[in-house]
């Protein structure tokens, strides 16, 4: 049985927390319906963090900051697995970015490293003028 | 995010509370103690419920500016959720991290004199 | 008493070089991760709260050890700075230590102890000097000694040894295997003290097991193999027909190919390490020793990029001939979607000789769906548009290695040559092989 939740947010940095909290709550919901260990914060934190990063990225690289531009987040709840996709209509990009070198005290570039570490799978495709990042994690 | 500044001798304790992400991280630089690169600070993260790479970037930027000006940035009371972000990114190497704010203040004070 | 385990990265850089896939704190010694020995020791010394400190990543260790509930202790994680001394460690963890008795273990050292003895007296000893030390670190007791029933019984013996090289790793692993489960809590099942076997292990009827051995989880030991004496086989390992493994360590995720004799070696992936000299040798022949893991994604990306570039050059070169010959062949009804066209007539023969039949497939190389050279693409071209996720040993491609080597394109012979090249190819060699395939087809076409 699959449940799908879709959230369309304006491409605006103010909505970052809304997106990440939604992710955390969705993950907790899945964990509680599966009777998983409720003391385990890592599953919901992983989604909170990954969505926060992906949403911030989508807004940061948006070209036309118009109110009509949307970032769409879809959560697909499966048995013991949560999948999240983030779509935006920005320029295509590569998710194969080099890791920042710590010695230079970099202020940016940690986002993808975090997403990759906390998620089980991360993929990127460009389709119909949209960037689609799909990530998933097993409970 | 709310920022509370208190002074303990020559050291300023900056207590952060709430969420530090891309929407709130720029506020950090508005704090006088953070913006003044000559001042050593202890940043108390106990009440930070969520930090992402934007928040981390702001802290790393603060550390760089202050270190260049020979001032210190110490972190205290990180919860496991916040620590995880530092751990994954390898930025733990850059900071001195304490589990107790008063210990961090003492350390900063002796460090300054020495 | 509480315990701080502080391990700086500088002490275990050699692990990254010798076993790149392994987190140093989880490096298995006799199939038990390194860090668990230290946790066990802390528990024997009466600690119910243990904190791990590192200046590197602990996420993987955290995932493995969790909250410590499985040992009945509270395990927490924190960080240290590469320059920290012992006093700074205490300051930074003041809340954790709570002003009480704290044992500090520093360095990347193996502690040899005996689980049947009690180390509870450590909490009551009044000394500030290290109770054990070696070049790589110390065990120190800080804070006020706990008052306890001290009968002044002699402290149970223990010592620390630095784990500073492949040599010491090998030596300590072997010692642990010999002394076995009488001194340490070791994983696996076994009714005999020096033979332990993990979960999901398949041992062939014709295999011989010679003690002492330690075998991890998910291991296949195929017919006519001899395991031991003194063999440590990690988890997810396949030992193929007719191998013998003695005095050696096989690290997790390793495949030992047929009829290989491994004596006094450490095998990890496709690397064999001589534990006495520390010299490592990466095996070339895939049938001897093969890493089960697939290739790194960056290597695949590099190969795909170079292949796409080569395809682009070919496309440009073939463009004019294609424009000229394609309408002609199409009108004659000789052009088929099957790229392996029959070379009928002059135009057809010419088209095949200069490999125009592969022209449409080159586009798929640019989009990354095919490789320019790899396994025979015959099956791919049968009108199917599904490209299964091919492993490193079968990469669907426009040209095949068999064509380049002028081997028969069908049959198992071709499969061998393709398998060989699939394992040994580099992107640059691939370009050379592509040119060879083109020339072969040109000369055959005449």
Asked if B97 lies within 8 A of C88 by C-beta distance, the reply is no
Separation in Å, CA of A46 to nearest CA in chain B:
9
Asked if the model's pLDDT at residue B113 lies above 90, the reply is no
The order of strands in the sheet holding C271-273 is C189-192, C195-197, C213-215, C231-233, C248-250, C266-268, C271-273, C280-282
Asked if the model's pLDDT at residue B104 lies above 80, the reply is yes
Q: Which chains touch A (3 or more CB pairs under 8 A)?
A: B, C
What residues 97-126 of chain A have any CB closer than 8 A to a CB of chain C? 117
Residues A56 and A75: their CA atoms lie apart, in Å, by: 17
Q: Decide if A33 touches C, using CB distance below 8 A.
A: no
Asked if C79 lies within 8 A of B92 by C-beta distance, the reply is yes
Segment C351-401, tens digit of pLDDT: 777 787 788 788 888 887 778 887 664 433 333 333 333 334 456 778 877
Segment C389-443, tens digit of pLDDT: 333 445 677 887 777 766 655 544 455 566 556 655 777 888 888 888 888 888 7
Q: Decide if B68 touches A, using CB distance below 8 A.
A: no
pLDDT for residue C415: 52
Looking at CATH, the fold of the domain delimited by C187-291 is given as UDP N-Acetylglucosamine Acyltransferase; domain 1 (2.160.10)
ipTM of the complex: 0.91
Q: Decide if B46 touches C, using CB distance below 8 A.
A: no
pLDDT for residue C386: 30
pLDDT for residue A1: 66
Comparison of pLDDT for C302 and A71, the residue scoring more: A71
Q: Decide if B109 touches C, using CB distance below 8 A.
A: no
Asked if the model's pLDDT at residue C258 lies above 60, the reply is yes
Asked if the model's pLDDT at residue C49 lies above 90, the reply is yes
Average pLDDT over residues C174-178: 90
pLDDT for residue C419: 54
End-to-end CA distance of chain B: 34
What residue ranges define each of the domains in chain B, with the CATH number in brackets?
2-113 (3.30.750.24)
Residues C155 and C153: their CA atoms lie apart, in Å, by: 6
Separation in Å, CA of A18 to nearest CA in chain B:
11
Asked if the model's pLDDT at residue C72 lies above 50, the reply is yes
Helix, strand or coil for residue C103? Answer: strand
Q: Which of C55, C76, C92 to mutate to test the interface with B (most CBs of B within 10 A)?
A: C92
Nearest chain C alpha carbon to A117: C59
Nearest chain C alpha carbon to B104: C92
Average pLDDT over residues A53-58: 92
For A24-114, where are the E strands, in sequence order? 70-78, 81-88
Asked if C298 lies within 8 A of A96 by C-beta distance, the reply is yes
Q: Which of B79, B103, B108 to mutate to test the interface with C (most CBs of C within 10 A)?
A: B103
Q: Decide if B69 touches A, using CB distance below 8 A.
A: no
The highest-level CATH class for domain C2-180 is: alpha beta
Tokens representing residue C102 in the block: 């704290």
**Which residues of C have a CB under 8 Å from any CB of A?**
59, 298, 301
Q: Per-residue confidence at C172, pLDDT binned at 50, 70, 90?
A: very high
Residues C385 and C387: their CA atoms lie apart, in Å, by: 6
Chain C residue numbers touching B81 (CB-CB < 8 A): none
Q: Decide if A105 touches B, using CB distance below 8 A.
A: yes
Nearest chain C alpha carbon to B74: C92
Segment C2-33, tens digit of pLDDT: 999 999 999 999 999 888 888 999 999 999 99
pLDDT for residue C392: 42
CATH number of A3-138: 3.30.565.10
Nearest chain A alpha carbon to C297: A96
Asked if the model's pLDDT at residue B1 lies above 70, the reply is yes
Chain A residue numbers touching B66 (CB-CB < 8 A): none
Q: Helices C297-332 and C359-366 sit at what angle, rounded to 10 degrees?
A: 150
Tokens representing residue C144 in the block: 């006020």
Chain B, chain C: beta-carbon pairs less than 8 Å apart: 53
Separation in Å, CA of B4 to nearest CA in chain C:
22
Chain B residue numbers touching A114 (CB-CB < 8 A): 52-53, 85, 88-89
Which among A130, A53, A47 is positioned nearest to A92, based on CA atoms? A130
Separation in Å, CA of A131 to nearest CA in chain B:
20
Asked if B99 lies within 8 A of C92 by C-beta distance, the reply is yes
pLDDT for residue C43: 94
Average pLDDT over residues C308-331: 83
Nearest chain B alpha carbon to A43: B81
Residues C13 and A43: their CA atoms lie apart, in Å, by: 31
pLDDT for residue C149: 56
Separation in Å, CA of A78 to nearest CA in chain B:
25
Comparison of pLDDT for B114 and A40, the residue scoring more: A40
Nearest chain C alpha carbon to A43: C63
Which of A85-94, A104-113, C16-25, C45-54 has maximum average pLDDT?
A: C45-54
Separation in Å, CA of A8 to nearest CA in chain C:
31
Chain B residue numbers touching C67 (CB-CB < 8 A): none
Q: Per-residue confidence at A17, pLDDT binned at 50, 70, 90?
A: very high
Asked if the model's pLDDT at residue B6 lies above 50, the reply is yes
Where do the domains of chain C lie? Answer: 2-180, 187-291, 297-445
DSSP structure class, residue C203: E
Closest partner residue to B96 (CB to CB) among C81, C93, C96 is C81
Closest partner residue to B99 (CB to CB) among C54, C57, C96 is C96
CB count in 10 Å sphere of residue C287? 14
Separation in Å, CA of C289 to nearest CA in chain B:
33
Which among C398, C66, C33, C58 is positioned nearest to C235, based on CA atoms? C33
Q: Decide if A28 touches B, using CB distance below 8 A.
A: no
Nearest chain A alpha carbon to C302: A96
Chain A residue numbers touching C59 (CB-CB < 8 A): 117
Chain C residue numbers touching B63 (CB-CB < 8 A): none
Q: Helices C297-332 and C345-353 sit at what angle, rounded to 10 degrees?
A: 170
Mean pLDDT of chain C: 81
Residues whose CB is less than 8 angstroms from the CB of residue C53 and which lie 6 or more positions away in sequence, other chains included: C4, C5, C6, C7, C77, C78, C79, C80, C89, C93
pLDDT for residue C110: 94
Angstrom distances, CA of residue A31 to CA of A36, A77, C177: 5, 10, 41
Average pLDDT over residues C270-290: 71
Comparison of pLDDT for A36 and B114, the residue scoring more: A36
Nearest chain B alpha carbon to A118: B88
Question: Lowest-confidence range among A38-42, A48-52, A89-93, C373-377?
Answer: C373-377
Segment B37-95, tens digit of pLDDT: 889 999 999 999 999 999 999 999 999 999 999 999 999 999 999 999 999 999 999 99
Asked if the model's pLDDT at residue C344 lies above 70, the reply is no
Residues C424 and C401: their CA atoms lie apart, in Å, by: 12
The separation between CA A44 and the C-alpha centre of its own chain, rounded to angstroms, equals 12
Chain A residue numbers touching C74 (CB-CB < 8 A): none
Average pLDDT over residues C260-273: 86
pLDDT for residue C200: 87
Chain A residue numbers touching B93 (CB-CB < 8 A): 102
Residues B103 and C10: their CA atoms lie apart, in Å, by: 26
Asked if C301 lies within 8 A of A117 by C-beta distance, the reply is no
Tokens representing residue B15 in the block: 């207590």
Nearest chain A alpha carbon to B68: A105
Asked if B87 lies within 8 A of C94 by C-beta distance, the reply is no
Asked if the model's pLDDT at residue C157 lies above 80, the reply is yes
Q: Decide if B81 touches C, using CB distance below 8 A.
A: no
Average pLDDT over residues A115-125: 91
pLDDT for residue C150: 56
Nearest chain A alpha carbon to C60: A117
């Amino acid at each position: 049985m699959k449940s799908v939740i879709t959230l369309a947010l304006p491409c605006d940095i103010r909505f970052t927390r809304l997106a990440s909290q939604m992710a955390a709550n969705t993950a907790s919901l899945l964990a509680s319906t599966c009777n998983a260990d409720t003391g385990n914060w890592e599953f919901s934190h992983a989604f909170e963090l990954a969505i926060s990063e992906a949403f911030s990225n989508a807004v940061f690289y948006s070209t036309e900051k118009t109110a009509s531009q949307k970032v769409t987040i879809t959560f697909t709840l499966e048995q013991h697995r949560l999948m999240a996709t983030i779509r935006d209509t920005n320029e295509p990009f590569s998710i194969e970015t080099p890791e920042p070198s710590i010695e230079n005290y970099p202020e940016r570039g940690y986002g993808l490293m975090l997403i990759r570490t906390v998620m089980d799978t991360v993929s990127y495709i460009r389709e119909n003028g949209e960037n689609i990042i799909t990530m998933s994690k097993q409970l | 995010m709310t920022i509370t500044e208190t002074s303990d001798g020559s050291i300023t304790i900056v207590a952060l509370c709430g969420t530090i992400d891309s929407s709130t991280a720029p506020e950090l630089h508005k704090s006088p103690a953070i913006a003044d690169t000559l001042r050593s600070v202890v940043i108390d993260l106990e009440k930070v419920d969520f930090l992402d790479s934007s928040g981390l970037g702001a802290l790393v930027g603060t550390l760089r500016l202050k270190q260049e000006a020979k001032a210190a940035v110490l972190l205290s009371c990180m919860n496991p959720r916040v620590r995880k972000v530092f751990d994954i990114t390898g930025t733990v190497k850059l900071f001195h991290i304490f589990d107790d704010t008063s210990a961090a203040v003492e350390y900063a004070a002796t460090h300054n004199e020495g | 008493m509480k315990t701080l385990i502080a391990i700086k990265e500088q002490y275990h850089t050699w692990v990254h070089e010798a076993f790149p896939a392994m987190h140093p704190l989880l490096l298995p010694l006799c199939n038990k991760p390194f860090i668990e020995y230290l946790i066990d020791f802390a528990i024997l010394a009466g600690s119910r709260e243990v904190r791990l400190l590192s200046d590197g990543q602990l996420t993987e260790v955290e995932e493995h050890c969790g909250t410590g509930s499985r040992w009945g202790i509270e395990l927490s994680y924190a960080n240290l700075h590469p320059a920290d001394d012992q006093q700074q460690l205490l300051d930074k963890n003041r809340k954790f230590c709570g002003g009480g008795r704290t044992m500090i273990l520093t360095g990347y050292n193996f502690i040899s102890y005996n689980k049947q003895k009690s180390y509870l007296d450590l909490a009551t000893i009044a000394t500030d000097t290290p109770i054990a030390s070696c070049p790589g670190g110390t065990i120190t007791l800080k804070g006020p000694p706990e008052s306890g029933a001290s009968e002044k019984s002699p402290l149970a013996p223990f010592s620390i040894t630095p784990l500073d090289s492949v040599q010491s790793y090998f030596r300590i692993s072997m010692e642990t295997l010999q002394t076995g489960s009488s001194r340490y809590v070791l994983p696996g099942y076994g009714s005999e003290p020096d033979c332990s076997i993990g979960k999901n292990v398949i041992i062939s009827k014709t295999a011989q097991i010679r003690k002492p051995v330690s075998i991890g989880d998910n291991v296949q030991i195929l017919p006519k193999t001899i395991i031991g004496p003194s063999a440590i086989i990690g988890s997810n390992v396949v030992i193929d027909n007719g191998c013998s493994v003695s005095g050696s360590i096989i690290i997790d995720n390793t495949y030992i190919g047929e009829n290989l004799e491994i004596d006094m070696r450490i095998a990890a992936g496709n690397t064999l390490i001589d534990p006495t000299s520390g010299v490592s040798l990466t095996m070339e022949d895939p049938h001897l020793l093969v890493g089960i893991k697939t290739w790194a994604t960056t290597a695949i990306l590099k190969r795909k990029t170079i292949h796409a570039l080569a395809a682009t050059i070919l496309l440009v070169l073939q463009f004019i001939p294609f424009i000229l010959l394609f309408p002609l062949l199409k009108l004659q009804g000789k052009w088929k979607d099957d790229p392996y066209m029959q070379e009928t007539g002059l135009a057809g023969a010419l088209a095949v000789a200069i490999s125009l039949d592969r022209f449409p497939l080159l586009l798929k190389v640019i989009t990354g769906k095919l490789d320019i050279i790899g396994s025979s693409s015959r099956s791919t071209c049968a009108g199917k548009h599904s490209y299964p996720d091919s492993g490193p040993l079968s990469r669907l491609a426009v040209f095949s290695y068999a064509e380049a080597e002028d081997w028969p394109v069908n049959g198992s012979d071709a499969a061998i040559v393709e398998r060989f090249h699939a394992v040994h190819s580099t992107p640059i060699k691939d370009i050379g092989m592509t040119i060879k395939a083109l020339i072969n087809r040109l000369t055959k076409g005449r």
